[in-house]
Structure 1
């Protein structure tokens, strides 16, 4: 077993694979034709991309070179593909679909679209956005884009966001630190107080999105006329490593400085090492610490401060 992956997780993935491959018909001839799924995928690549070399197809589709060679030979015998010398290197043979190849591929593509539409039609209309979002999440988690290409946005909270703030704190802190429900209740109280007593001139919250999905948040609230308090910094595990926590903290500091505060403080726990590292890197210093029994744990509470 791969380190960090448990049997129940593996079982869940395998169960979904069995369900989905049967649902889309991979176990039989693809789309009820004489083509295999791999053959249709090769036709798809040739139809939607500039002329390719066989080596590029092997690399991009992760195919055995001998297997691909047999597929290409079959296609060539039927007049569906043609080979031409590459302009930049006459030794390289580029593959392209012929008119006969497009004539074969077009109905396959339409049938695939029709079957996908039929699959979606079986899902209630109101549930389809959630299904599509889940598919996009699976895609993104299994094939994450390079860090530099992620679209990161810090925005104001919208309806539904504050409930998410409470939920994500409750879930993550229970899973990662063993906090009980009293922590989630505390977060709910902080959020409710923020909404009911909000002074937009000196208090603000941010929701961090990565590629359109909520991945983090932070709040700054009034502690006194001269002191701002940073609260509820969190970043979901799948967004860690993108510098999101630092960006959220920087936004808080900039806002507090512009609002006229002279100092910023925060309350945290000594075991929240990732958050403490962010605070230290932004000029916060530990001012007080004391043992604390809270959230079903024996903790060491800390107060950090910095001048603005």
Structure 2
């Protein structure tokens, strides 16, 4: 491998991506950089201008002009952070979310068109090669919080949620397959019948692989959402992924008009409990029970969404 080899690959890759970006006016009426800002806002529900500037390596003045344009177009709202008044929190409006979703759909269609030219038998080899490039070049530094992407589930991700919940809880707490059955029913119910305006799943992705998840679904109680199946892979812990996933649920639930957010957990899940407490959840009730092959204490936690706005 030589410098020439890497530069040749870079020219080839840039030409391919350039064709994807511009041959179909992919980001119209926005530029590529503006679309990258929209994409980052759509996948990081609590973002401020400083975060965006660092993540996208943008000049402060240039980013400010982009955000001013977005605000004029009704795509974003900017408010002062309660934790640090010097920082400005940037969130997408309903129109901004719709615009971001449209741009992402166009990108998916464009990449899908490119992928359709690759023979099916060659696709696994292409995926392995792309993974190898990412892995080799990223192994020189430890993962960072900004490397984690929150996104909607892709085909196969719901099955991953079931498999990883079952495997991790068996390994870490000795729970039996009863828990896998519970998770499978929860995921199946969501997959078969959910309202995308009121219910959602987030996948945390790091280096191209899922490392965490959480769900927000409607509860039986009026105006109440339920947080379910929060999980972070052991090798991805310490990056604030659990906090980001819970934050995403809270922001989404508040944004679509729920009054309360509830969850059920067990007292042995101490790390998750600390996350819930940091975000203002209050213990509402607890009760001993025998489930998943263990004697446990179940806990109901509640968050008043009107009382925790930032």
Aligned residues: 191
What pairs up with 1:1-308 in 2 under 5 angstroms? 125=122, 127-129=124-126, 131-132=128-129, 135=132, 144-148=141-145, 150-223=146-219, 224-308=221-305
Contact 2:134 2:207 in 1 (8 A): no
- Unaligned segments of structure 2, at least 5 residues: 7-120, 306-310
Question: Aligned equivalents of 1:237 and 1:182: distance in 2?
Answer: 22
Distance 1:200 1:138, change over 3 A: closer
After superposition, the Cα gap between the structure-2 partners of 1:140 and 1:191, relative to the gap in structure 1 and judged at 3 Å, is farther
Give the superposition deviation at 1:261.
1.1
Q: Alpha-carbon deviation of 1:297?
A: 1.0
The secondary structure found in structure 2 opposite 1:194 is helix
Deviations, residues 194-221 of structure 1 (Å, cap 9, x unaligned): 1222012211111111122111111011
For residues 141 and 172 of structure 1, the distance between their equivalents in structure 2, rounded to whole angstroms, comes to 26
Higher RCO (CA < 8 A, seq sep 6+): 2
Q: CA deviation at 1:126?
A: 5.3
Considering only aligned residues, what root-mean-square deviation do their CA atoms show, in Å?
2.7
TM-score (norm 1): 0.56
Q: CA deviation at 1:225?
A: 2.5
Closer, same or farther: CA 301–135 of 1 in aligned 2, 3 Å: same
TM-score by length of 2: 0.56
